[in-house]
Amino acid sequence: MCKRPSIVYIHGFNSSPASFKAQQVRKAWQQLELPEEDLQVPALHHHPHRAIAQLQEIIESLGQPVLVGSSLGGYYATYLAQRYLLKALLINPAVRPHRLFDNFATEQVNLYTGEQWLLTESHLHGLAALEVPSPCDPQRFSVWLQTGDETLDYWLAEQYYCNCSVNVQQGGFHGFENFIEHLPALFSYAGVTPSVLQKLDLSAFE
């Protein structure tokens, strides 16, 4: 018997399940009439320790989900995929995000919830603790990059994941241009069968 596909979508820094990509994944999942509980899109705590604890609980409840991580979510997904030997699809992932901040003790605001919080040294230490050696498994890691990413340097990810399956597209932006067109590939990677994917009507997303 084939295992039911399941996905954990991991949003990025100061994002939420209300983000564009998260909502499109959820909408497509519903269109495919797949079990609601097999797609988890958690609202992650801003502290890495808390966020990872949330994700570990979900992973252990699902068994062997495919992780889909965007931006900072890609960094989290990489750590968790290595720890649990899971497949991961990474969209413009952050690489060594603890090195991207000039300083800590800065005020942050979640773009979707309006939550205000303070970025501290503890956050950066928490991020640093999740760094793993560059993955070397093209069967388990698929990385989607766009060169026009205005937030992260795509080249850093291209180098870090050079031994994985890496797809670099010219142009685009950090949120990933034309994401909707890539939904069939995303679900196929997660194990959704071609017969089920036939239900996906991309015109409904226009």
Are residues 105 and 45 in contact, defined by beta-carbon separation less than 8 angstroms? no
Q: How far is CA 160 from CA 96, 122, 149, 150, in A?
A: 10, 25, 16, 18
Residue 75 is assigned to a structural domain of this protein? yes
What is the share, in percent, of the chain residues with pLDDT greater than 90?
A: 92
What CATH number has the domain bearing residue 94?
3.40.50.1820
Confidence of residue 205 (pLDDT cuts 50, 70, 90): confident
Confidence of residue 1 (pLDDT cuts 50, 70, 90): very low
- Give me the pLDDT at residue 102, please: 72
Distance CA 84, CA 76 (A): 12
Confidence of residue 101 (pLDDT cuts 50, 70, 90): confident
What is the extent of the structural domain holding 93? 7-205
User: Between β-strands 7-10 and 116-119, what pairing exists: parallel, antiparallel or unpaired?
Assistant: unpaired
Residue 55 is assigned to a structural domain of this protein? yes
Q: How far is CA 196 from CA 11, 12, 67, 191, in A?
A: 25, 28, 20, 10
CA torsion sign for 188, 19, 167, 84 is negative
> pTM for the whole thing?
0.96
User: Between β-strands 66-70 and 7-10, what pairing exists: parallel, antiparallel or unpaired?
Assistant: parallel
- Give me the pLDDT at residue 2, please: 58
- Give me the pLDDT at residue 106, please: 83
Residue 123 is assigned to a structural domain of this protein? yes
Which residue in the block uniquely carries the two structure tokens 């931006």?
71
Say how many domains are in the chain: 1
Residue 2 is assigned to a structural domain of this protein? no
